[in-house]
Amino acid sequence: MTSDIYLNVAKTLSHSRANGPGVRAVIWVQGCTIGCAGCYNAFTHPHEKRTLVTPDTIAEWVLGLEGIEGVSFSGGEPFEQAKAVRETIVAIREKNPNLTFFSYSGFDVEGLQHSKDEEVAGLLDELDMVSAGPYVHSKRQTDLLWRGSTNQKLHYLTRAYKEEQELEWKLTSPVEEFQFDGEIIHFTGFEGNGSKVLKAVKANAMVFGV
């Protein structure tokens, strides 16, 4: 693994049911040039240094977690750090080939598939699923599975998952999720700042949507 490659990480969460199939570790990357209006995670848009971590370090953290089905990447825009995200997946998969990999992206999948950036194509090859497309606030809908607006689509890139599982996932994946680590309430989900529960605890919560 290349030692001079770093992932710029905004936040991690060890166990989540709201960010892809089953229970998953989630990594929010820092930096997104798309900058969708109304994005829940607008603070992750600037390409500024947050926490720089090597792929091997992230892999070691993931491999130490119990009870997860896979890893999800959010942001920020994971495909703007395609090389580092890809190498993170490769490092994890070398030690545990049973984990699955899911990513959000503000780019349409067709654009990703036709990208001339070899690292973007390489990252797509490593992913099992992607939720793709820009967030459009006028098309916002809170009951969509792992999407914030109706133009965004789920794409199945391997045989790990299939569209027929979506009904089951809708029953088991919460629209919003709160976790208390003893000091901070962490929030993730698609209600965003409109969440009634979030409004009640926002003064003491660290807000993270997907």
Classify residue 200: in a domain, yes or no: no
Note down the domain range covering 30. Answer: 7-175
Q: Which helix (H) or strand (E) holds 102?
A: strand 100-105
The answer to whether residue 182 sits within a structural domain is no
* Span 110-158, pLDDT tens digits: 999 999 999 999 999 999 999 999 999 999 998 899 999 999 999 999 9
Residue 54's CATH number: 3.20.20.70
Structural domains in the chain (count) = 1
Two tokens at 60?
A: 């070691």
Contacts of 94 (CB under 8 A, 6+ apart): none
Structural domain contains residue 203: no
Q: Does residue 121 lie within any of the structural domains?
A: yes
pLDDT digits (tens, 9 = 90+) for 67-123: 999 999 999 999 999 999 999 999 999 999 999 999 999 999 999 999 999 999 999
- Selection from 176, 173, 194 nearest residue 185 by Cα: 176
Question: Would 127 be classed as within a structural domain?
Answer: yes
Q: What is the pLDDT of residue 175?
A: 81
Q: How confident is the model at residue 205 (pLDDT cuts 50, 70, 90)?
A: very low
